[in-house]
């Protein structure tokens, strides 16, 4: 799995291979090490090599996620930042719980499919840029979304989100759904099958609809509201009952 040192090295390797960096004066040995140094080496060892091969890069782990490993890598020379994410075959916060790595391929494919559906102009407005996806290592590199507030955090801290954010979210969802709506066309059925993820759905069912009402003060308070829990049960039933015809 990635750590801050291996994330630095991976970003430097990608930059070299994608011609973001053109080390005309770099030694052949340095280039070879950058391209072939194993990412699984101990973090201390990788840190030493990073200091030699890519001292201009720094990486910081983003720790508020609980499924994947995420990092922001910064080029101290230019201030440019990238976001790296890796999916392992387990949950980050609960390693004993297995989870298939193919979820990241689906995530990247979603961005690509929606970008096509939206068109170039709307995709540029609503979607982050994905620069690279490594299927073998289930790592992707994308634009780092700096300077934004997480709507979930804002909702709980202020009780609402901005009007601009709600309008933007509504517009994105409306455009994306309208252009991918299942009207009986074969590609819509194929897309539904492609994105079906039973293992992740089971985890979401447990943690979105069950655990949160038992293990957090706000959840326990809400669980005493019969009307709220009746709505939750309806949502759970809809979540479990999602079906479609294959013919």
pLDDT tens-digit map of 196-235: 777 777 777 887 888 888 888 888 999 999 999 998 888 8
- Written as six digits, the tokens of 178 are 């309208």
CB 70 within 8 A of CB 83: yes
* Residues paired with 61 in a beta bridge: 71
Q: What is the pTM of this model?
A: 0.79
Distance CA 241, CA 124 (A): 34
User: Which of 169-173, 178-182, 194-198 is predicted with the least confidence, judged by mean pLDDT?
Assistant: 194-198
Average pLDDT for 113-142: 93
pLDDT at 20: 52
Whole-number average pLDDT of the chain: 85
Query: Could you tell me if 20 and 65 are in contact, meaning their C-beta atoms sit under 8 angstroms apart?
Result: no
Q: pLDDT category, 245, cuts 50, 70, 90?
A: very low
**How many alpha carbons fall within 13 Å on the CB side of residue 35?**
13
**What is the rounded average pLDDT of the residues 96-101?**
82
Give percent above pLDDT 70 in the chain: 94
User: What is the average pLDDT across 131-147?
Assistant: 93
Count the Cβ atoms, other than its own, within 10 Å of residue 69: 20
What pLDDT shows up at residue 22?
53
More confident residue, 192 or 103: 103
Provide the pLDDT for residue 10: 93
Give the whole-number percent of the chain exceeding pLDDT 90. Answer: 41
User: What pLDDT sits at residue 244?
Assistant: 44
**Position 35 pLDDT exceeds 70:** yes
């Amino acid at each position: 799995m990635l750590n801050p040192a291996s994330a630095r090295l991976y970003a430097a390797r990608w930059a070299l291979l994608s011609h973001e960096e053109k080390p005309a004066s770099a030694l052949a040995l340095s280039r070879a090490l950058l391209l072939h140094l194993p990412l699984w080496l101990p973090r201390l060892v990788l840190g030493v090599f990073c200091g030699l091969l890519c001292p201009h890069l720094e990486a910081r782990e983003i720790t508020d996620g609980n499924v994947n490993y995420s990092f922001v890598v910064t080029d101290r020379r230019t201030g440019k930042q990238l976001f790296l994410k890796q999916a392992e075959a387990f949950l980050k916060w609960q390693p004993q719980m297995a989870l298939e790595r193919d979820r990241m391929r689906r995530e990247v494919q979603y961005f690509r499919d929606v970008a096509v559906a939206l068109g170039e102009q709307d995709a540029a407005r609503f979607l982050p840029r994905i620069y690279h996806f490594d299927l073998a290592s289930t790592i992707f590199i994308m634009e780092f979304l700096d300077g934004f507030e997480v709507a979930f955090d804002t909702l709980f801290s202020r009780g609402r989100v901005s009007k601009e954010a709600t309008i933007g979210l509504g517009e994105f969802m409306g455009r994306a759904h309208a252009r991918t709506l299942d009207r009986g066309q074969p590609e819509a059925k194929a897309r539904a099958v492609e994105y079906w993820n039973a293992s992740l759905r089971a985890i979401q069912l447990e943690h979105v609809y069950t655990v949160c009402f038992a293990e957090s003060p706000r959840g326990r308070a809400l669980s005493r509201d019969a009307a709220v829990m009746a709505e939750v049960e309806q949502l759970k039933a809809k979540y479990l009952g999602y079906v479609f015809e294959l013919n």
